[in-house]
Amino acid sequence: MTKKKQIVAIGRAAVDLNANEMNRPMEETSTFTKYVGGSPANIMIGTAKLGLDVGMITNVSDDQHGKFITNYFEKIGVDTSQIHVDENGHKSGLTFTEIKSPKESSILMYREEVADLYLAPEHVNELYIKNSEYLLISGTALAKSPSREAVIKALLLAKKHDVKVIFELDYRPYSWVSEEETSIYYELVADQADVVIGTRDEFDMVERYKPLTDKEISELLFKSTPHLVVIKHGVQGSNAFDKEGNVFEGKAFKANVVKTFGAGDSYAAAFIYALVKGKSVEEALKYGAASAAIVVSSHSSSEAMPTVDKIENLIKEQS
């Protein structure tokens, strides 16, 4: 842990099983292809494929699925030294995807007592956080204890050692007891983050944001720690706001859509890559949108995460 990581993520790592038979409902689907999944896992895979030095803090099952996740991280170049192997029989989450049409996709998740939500505070290494430029926190990891406390410990360590914090909202309703609970923890972490990224629907899960415009949400967050807020609107593009009062509008890129899931993770991976590389917010918005367009045109999410060349070529083609 002597080499400084550019970014480390804490949160969900699971297994995705994407339907091979498209244009049919789940109950008529017979075969699936297995991929690594989970928002923070996908984002770290995406940033690793873009050339960043990254790592993952999570808890995986002590079985073949846990080994599959860890082995894939190692193959892609995501550091696995802080992946804890569960000692109490908890299993890694499974997600089955249904692809009825390019506009109609759904997911069926098995998240009961999953391993990643049993990441405990004692599994979070202070030196690992200290030796990172950025910490990515995924909202789903706040849904249950002890994962919730592990994330808060990582957040406190990041603040202690001046590590920049990115909060990716990643709201999954089935992980939470109530919207009120979600709102409390999202507000707590958002106020301490340097960068906050999410869809408009995800921001609306925080009670105090619901009646506000995108700009008003950013202004409210700027009263606390954040200096950059990114609010995504799907095919309508995205809006970014910085603490200096600048407003940036990002447009979506054209895509031959295969399925709708995976766009948010690929967007975040490329956007964060651009920020880490010192690119402007305008450029980062383009990188994020281009990456999302590439991934929704593919069967997988993690496996389809693009290289820098692919992103830049798409930006040139559609400029």
Phi, psi at residue 82, to the nearest 5°? -110, 20
Mean pLDDT of 63-69: 98
**Domain contains 25:** no
- CATH number, domain containing residue 194: 3.40.1190.20
**Domain contains 295:** yes
**Prior bond of 146 cis (ω within 30°):** yes
pLDDT of res. 260: 77
If DSSP codes are grouped into helix, strand and coil, which group holds residue 108? Answer: strand
Condensed to tens digits (0 to 9), the pLDDT of residues 27-48 reads 999 999 999 999 999 999 999 9
**Domain contains 120:** yes
Query: Contact, 21 vs 299, CB < 8 A?
Result: no
Helix (H) and strand (E) counts in the chain? 10, 14
Indicate the pTM of the whole model.
Answer: 0.96
Condensed to tens digits (0 to 9), the pLDDT of residues 196-236 reads 999 999 999 999 999 999 999 999 999 999 999 999 998 89
pLDDT of res. 52: 98
Condensed to tens digits (0 to 9), the pLDDT of residues 67-83 reads 999 999 999 999 999 99
Structurally, the chain folds into a number of domains equal to 1
Condensed to tens digits (0 to 9), the pLDDT of residues 95-146 reads 998 888 777 778 899 999 999 999 999 999 999 999 999 999 999 999 999 9
**Domain contains 17:** no
pLDDT of res. 22: 85
Q: Which of 108, 172, 107 is nearest to 142 (CA)?
A: 172
Higher pLDDT, 21 or 152: 152
Give the residue numbers spanning the domain of 132: 5-12+38-83+115-317
Give, rounded to a whole angstrom, the gap between the first and last alpha carbons of the chain.
41
pLDDT of res. 193: 98
Q: Is the pLDDT of residue 251 over 90?
A: yes
DSSP 8-state class, residue 91: B
Condensed to tens digits (0 to 9), the pLDDT of residues 152-168 reads 999 999 999 999 999 99
Condensed to tens digits (0 to 9), the pLDDT of residues 271-318 reads 999 999 999 999 999 999 999 999 988 877 888 899 999 999 999 999
**How far is CA 32 from each of CA 37, 68, 269, rounded to the nearest angstrom?**
14, 16, 25
Name, in order, each residue with C-beta under 8 angstroms of 94's C-beta and a sequence gap of 6 or more. Answer: 14, 15, 17, 65, 109, 110
**Domain contains 91:** no
**Domain contains 90:** no
User: Distance (Å, rounded) from C-alpha 228 to C-alpha 126?
Assistant: 26
Q: Which of 167, 108, 162 is nearest to 136 (CA)?
A: 167
Query: Contact, 29 vs 14, CB < 8 A?
Result: no
Residue 270: pLDDT band (50, 70, 90) is very high
Q: Is the pLDDT of residue 1 over 70?
A: no
User: Distance (Å, rounded) from C-alpha 270 to C-alpha 305?
Assistant: 9
Q: Which of 224, 58, 216, 232 is nearest to 136 (CA)?
A: 58
- Residue whose pair of structure tokens reads 């940036």 in the numeric block: 248
**Domain contains 26:** no
Residue 2: pLDDT band (50, 70, 90) is low
Q: What percent of the chain has pLDDT over 70?
A: 99
**Domain contains 110:** no
pLDDT of res. 99: 84
